[in-house]
Amino acid sequence: MVTRRRMLAGLAATSLLPSAGWSSVGTPDYLSAARTQNGTYLLAGLTVAGEITFTIPLPARGHAAAAHPERAEAVAFARRPGTFALVMDCRDGTIILTLTAPEGRHFYGHGAFSADGSTLFTSENDYEAGEGRIGLWDITQNYTRIGEFSSGGVGPHDLKLMPDGETLVVANGGIETHPDMGRSKLNIPVMQPNLSYVSLAGEILEQIELTARLHKNSIRHLAVRQDGMVAFAMQWQGSKSDTHPLLGLHQRGSKAKLLSASPKAQQQLQGYAGSVALSNDGGLVAITSPRGNVLHVFDTETGQPSAILSAKDVCGIGPTATGFLFTTGTGHIGTLSEETAQHPLQWDNHLIDISHNR
């Protein structure tokens, strides 16, 4: 006779054991890393109203996080060239596991789960070879490292699961780095960023590159619309006096469409787009610039700018039902029309939308 204990053990072994979803931690809409006033670091859950639903301490500065599609579980990644990623039970702040990048690798601060939540994909640097890798971790086997494949380029930063559930889109920033050199960029004169579409088995399905004159435009961050349109934010590695597009849109099988504001407004970005987000209806796309203290919004259909908002040290950005929510390094949280909340925290680079996980 199978006892209840043995049955639960069997379910756990096959990863079928029911677990509480995101509603169990106050129904957060977003995840964000932050720095406290005493210099420590944390990961927080945030609502669209700017309320904090939970906080979990981090051992060092975080960058972004990946949320499990069903369980109230998140993986918080160290900032490049960090080698730790913390698997957290967001219900009680328990650190379930600490993942460590394999020897010769470091994380780039981003990751994505498969649609069924069974696999975690992580952007990594094979720094001796100077090549980008995507790491694979089996969640059903307690986040066991099960392999890796090429990212399709150098310096993979952000990566997202495409709506088909079978493809990753990877922002290969093109910048070679090595942890022995800190955050120094080693190949700027010859860098070649690209946007790569990769199957979950590691096959490069499609790639796009910018024109030769824009080869110093590092493709860094991504947002994906339900129809598969990808928005990508860039960071210019050339002269700061140059003014180039820092936002692009792409549909597979077509050329990339680059978006710019007026020369004066574009110059205000100071060559740096920190984050990107698409509105829930997909009609708008926004980028932020903490260096320029500004947020730009564009119409995805026409490619024309529709709003510009000044906000000191603004970087995190995520969609709301009516537009966007942003976070700043000064602790502010707001929309395009009003300040929503303020906390005694320095919000880090990204506001990770998890509203679809509920």
Q: For 192-229, how does the pLDDT look when each residue is reduced to its tens digit (9 = 90+)?
A: 999 999 999 999 999 999 999 999 999 999 999 999 99
Cis-peptide into 263, omega within 30 deg: no
Q: For 177-196, how does the pLDDT look when each residue is reduced to its tens digit (9 = 90+)?
A: 998 887 789 889 999 999 99
pTM, 2 dp: 0.92
Q: For 66-76, how does the pLDDT look when each residue is reduced to its tens digit (9 = 90+)?
A: 999 989 899 99
Residue 247 has pLDDT above 80, yes or no: yes
Check: CB of residue 340 under 8 Å from CB of residue 50: yes
Where residue 269 falls among pLDDT bands split at 50, 70, 90? very high
Q: Output the 3-class SS for 336-356.
A: CCCEEEECCEEECCCCEECHH
Domain residue limits, the chain? 20-270
Calpha distance 70→73 (Å, rounded): 8
Residue 3 has pLDDT above 80, yes or no: no
Beta bridge partners of 211: none
Residue 129 has pLDDT above 50, yes or no: yes
Half-sphere exposure of 178 (CA within 13 A, CB side): 8
Beta bridge partners of 167: 199
Average pLDDT over residues 26-48: 92
Fold that domain 20-270 belongs to in CATH: Methylamine Dehydrogenase; Chain H (2.130.10)
Residue 275 has pLDDT above 50, yes or no: yes
Average pLDDT over residues 3-7: 35
- Among the listed residues 69, 55, 151, 135, the one whose alpha carbon sits nearest the alpha carbon of residue 102: 135
List Cα–Cα distances, 232 to 92, 145, 157, 208, 217, in angstroms: 34, 28, 11, 12, 11
Residue 101 has pLDDT above 50, yes or no: yes
Task: State the residue for tokens 């709301």.
Answer: 320
What average pLDDT does the structure give for the chain?
Answer: 91
Report pLDDT for 356. 78
Q: What is the number of other CB atoms lying within 10 angstroms of the CB of residue 355?
A: 18
Q: For 42-52, how does the pLDDT look when each residue is reduced to its tens digit (9 = 90+)?
A: 999 999 999 99
Average pLDDT over residues 55-61: 91
Amino acid, single-letter form, for residue 37:
Q
- Strand, coil or helix: 12: helix
